[in-house]
Amino acid sequence: MTRLHLFDLDGTLMYGSAAPVELSRQLGLLAEIADLERAFSAREIGPPEFAVGVHALWAHLTPAHVRAAFEGAPWLAGIREVWREIRARGEYCAVISLSPSFFVELLLEWGAHAAHGSVFPEVPFTRPVDVTGILTPEDKLTVADRLCKRFGLDRADCVAYGDSMTDAVLFGAVPVSVAVNARPYLAERATHVYQGRDLREAYQLVTVARPGVETS
């Protein structure tokens, strides 16, 4: 059986942090991003408003900042090893995140088959953000369906990994889910729960050994 592994980024692949936080850290704007994160978590603003807010906050963001944020982020151990194993099994791995696509897509360098995020203007920004390209939690499922079609699979073949309420819609639509360092709301809705800093351990919860397939 071929499967599609769908990974959230913020708080899931990244331990205790998120792409907007790491990008803001590069600009010395941690207090400002904390205010936006708090408003988003409290549902005072939604993804479009959050995107407009960070777009304004990152007026001086450069590609060098983006690369430094990516390389310095607190990633879980073993991400590239897990994705190599998934590929060795003839399965697929993808990242779906509400964070900016210019950050999320860097994970293609680590072996993801696909990486989807909210569409922002190219960095450095010279245009306003188009909120029609900003993903919502419901859009995660839409993207997952598109990926299933691309790989010749359906929702029954998917495994989702996430940490927060933004992953709940996807968790409710697939048969196997792993709550990774998750809030209680999501952990209660997952088929597996993992606490720790190594993606290899979370992946082992859903691994089914296949004869004749070498793993790394």
What digits encode the pLDDT tens for the residues 177-202?
999 999 999 999 999 999 999 999 99
CATH domain 4-15+75-204 topology: Rossmann fold (3.40.50)
For residues 159 and 176, is the Cβ–Cβ distance under 8 A? yes
**Cβ neighbour number for residue 188 with a 10 Å cutoff:** 10
For residues 167 and 8, is the Cβ–Cβ distance under 8 A? yes
Per-residue pLDDT of 145-155, as tens digits, reads 999 999 999 99
Q: Chain-wide mean pLDDT for the chain?
A: 95
**Cβ neighbour number for residue 88 with a 10 Å cutoff:** 13
d(CA 75, CA 12): 9
Residue range 115-133: average pLDDT? 97
Residue 1: predicted pLDDT: 78
Q: Report the share of the chain in percent with pLDDT over 70.
A: 96
pLDDT bin (cut points 50, 70, 90) of residue 212 is very low
Give CA separation, 213 vs 43, 88, 89, 161, in Å. Answer: 45, 7, 6, 23
Residue 103: predicted pLDDT: 98
d(CA 140, CA 138): 5
Query: So where are the chain's domains?
Result: 4-15+75-204
pLDDT bin (cut points 50, 70, 90) of residue 208 is low
